[in-house]
Each structure stands twice: as structure tokens, then as C-alpha cells.
Amino acid sequence: MAEPRVSVVVPVFNERQNLPKLHERLSAALEATGRSWEIVYTDDGSKDGSIDLLKDFHAADPGRVRVIEFERNAGQHMAIMAAFERARGEVVVTIDADLQNPPEEIGKLLALADKGHDVVGSIRKDRQDVGWRVWASRAMNWVRERITGIRMTDQGCMLRAYHKTVVRQIVATGEQSTFIPALGQAFAANPAEVEVEHAARHAGESKYSLYKLARLNFDLMTGFSTVPLQVFTIVGMLVTAGSLGLVGVILLRRIFIGSEAGGVFTLFAILYFLVGVMIMGIGLLGEYVGRIYQEVRKRPRFQIRNVYEKVDP
Ligand code: UDP
Ligand code: MG
């Protein structure tokens, strides 16, 4: 089996309702590019029977459709990582399974890859997500740009193309709590971006709860920068300097005016605020320490139950 020119990688978590349409449109769009292709689906521990549909897709086109079945949910980025380990294409494209990224846009990415861009990112033209998600994501994008120095206009758009050399570097990191577009961008020698259409979810609901979304953003911030820790040190220094000033003022008042009992509530307010800042600092440290612990234990990042693929003799 010759190596395909394009591999498309799709993470799937409870997307049964979207899969038939996705597979149909994706296959047609790839056919239209006139290149040889393969699709690698990762079933990320779905409980809705997505795997049955994926197995059917593989059975119908065993040479071009491969399926990795996870034992349990390991997250979108690990699902992509597992598929990256197996993708054989010259260029590897990631796309969501809910049809928010139109498969027909893949051609645009490939055209830029042809021009020698080793990572092609995309920018959602008219993003179709609930209001708070769009704003929160814009804010995180802004913060990420400043603290990681990674330049990416729209970090949340997963419709991206990576040359196999970049995919190899991403796989080689062996990282667990990571953010694939940022890794790709960090390894890119000649990145480019292109505007793409965006649609509302074809069916079902977002697989990201607020908590899962927060965790993912922590992965991104802590995984690509230690600036948050330094900011905290600087905040600590400023607070210490401020407190020292306050101690001086209170001491002088004690000496020249005598003992004063007023302002207790003001002091409490200041104290509570500072305790809050401290707890936040400990939490921030914990975010780093927890991830270091996770990485050093070296437990498998994901567990594969089955791989459905036609193996060469
Ligand atoms: N996904 C996954 N594992 C997860 C969560 C999501 O494989 O734990 C997949 C999901 O099936 C979809 C893609 O990742 O193909 C993006 O998820 P979703 O559309 O829910 O994210 P959103 O568009 O709301 O950011
Ligand atoms: Mg989506």
C-alpha cells in the first residue's frame, strides 16, 4: 500500500449523529483534491456506539479508512496524538467530527502546504458558537499570544495541516497535557494561515464542559510558558513593597499619635484580598507541579483497545 499524500485525522467522542454526514462529505472533499488520501478516526471512548459506524466505514474502504479505538476517554488532543502516530500522509490534516469545520475547506490548506508551508493554520471567518465561548476564546487567545509568544490568530480552530516532519516532532515530544496547534506552531519553520468557513454543530452538543475547557486552557498556558509564575513573583514583590510602606506608616502613627483601633475592617479587607492572591499563587504552582507529576510517572497517555486497519503483508 503506497503512502497517501494526505492523511486526515478525526477525533471522535460521542458523535454518532454526525459521523455519516461527515464521512460522506469528507471522502467527497478528499476525492475532489485529486490526491491519494486516508482518514484516521480515533474513537475517544465514545459511549453512543460511534465505534460501530467507524468500523463500518473501515469495512467499506479498508485501504483508506483506519480506526483507532480507545479504551476510555483521553481527550481530543490525545485522540489526535494517537492518530498522528499512525498517519502516513505527506501532509496531515486535523478536523473536528461535528462538521463545524467544513471538509470542503481542506483544499485551501493543501494549496498552501504545496507552496512549502509546513504548518497551515486557519481562522474561522464567522465563528458559529455560543456568545460567551467566542468572547472567552478571544480573551484566551490574546493572553496566550502575550505569555507564550506563539503567534496564531485563532488557536481554537482545529482545521489545520501539518507536514509530516512537524507531525513527527509533535509525536516525539510524548507530551500528555498538551495543545496540538501550539506544538505545531512552535515547531513550524514556515507557517501560514488561511481564512475558512465555520458552521454551527451539525448535531449534538459541545463535548467540552466549562471545567474541561478551563483545564485545556491551563494545559496551553502552563505547557508553553512559565510567564504566569514570573508574573506571580513580580506581583509578590510589589505586594511586599506595598506592605512594607504600610508597616512604616502604621509604625510612625503608633509612635507619634499613639495606639489606634480604627480601620479594623479595612485591614480585614486587605487581608482577605492577600489571602486570595496567595491561594491563587499556590493553585498556579499546583497546576505546574501536577502536570510535572503526571509526566514523570510516565503512565500511558491513552490506552488503545483496538486498531482497525488493513495491515500490509
Ligand atoms: N473530542 C474528543 N474527545 C473529547 C472531547 C472532544 O475526541 O474528550 C472531539 C469531538 O468529538 C470533536 C472535537 O473533539 O470531534 C471537538 O469537540 P467539540 O466540537 O465538542 O468542541 P467545540 O467545538 O465545542 O470546541
Ligand atoms: Mg465543535
Query: Separation of 230 CA from ligand 1 center, angstroms?
Result: 32
Q: What is the best residue among 13, 51, 124 to mutate for testing ligand 1's pocket, by most ligand atoms within 8 Å of CB? A: 13
Residues at CB less than 6 angstroms from ligand 1? 11-13, 15, 44, 73, 75-76, 79, 96-98, 100, 206-208
Q: Which of 304, 309, 306, 297 is nearest to 79 (CA)?
A: 304
Query: Separation of 96 CA from ligand 2 center, angstroms?
Result: 6
Task: Note the pTM of the prediction, 2 decimals.
Answer: 0.92
pLDDT at site 104 = 97
pLDDT at site 244 = 93
- CA dist., res. 28 & res. 277, Å (int): 54
The atom number, within ligand 1, closest to the CA of 213 reads 25
pLDDT at site 313 = 58
Note whether 68 and 86 are within 8 A (CB).
Answer: yes
Note whether 90 and 3 are within 8 A (CB).
Answer: yes
pLDDT along the chain (313 residues), means of 10: 90 98 98 97 97 98 97 98 97 97 97 97 92 91 92 94 98 95 96 96 93 93 94 93 92 91 84 92 95 93 96 65
Any idea of the CA torsion for 88, 92, 94, 100, to the nearest 10 degrees? -120
Note whether 306 and 70 are within 8 A (CB).
Answer: no
Ion ligand 2 — residues with CB < 5 Å? 96, 98, 100
DSSP 97-166: TTSSS-GGGHHHHHHHHHTT-SEEEEEESS--S-HHHHHHHHHHHHHHHHHH----S-TT---EEEEHHH
- Take residue 54 and report the three cell numbers written for it: 467507524
pLDDT at site 264 = 82
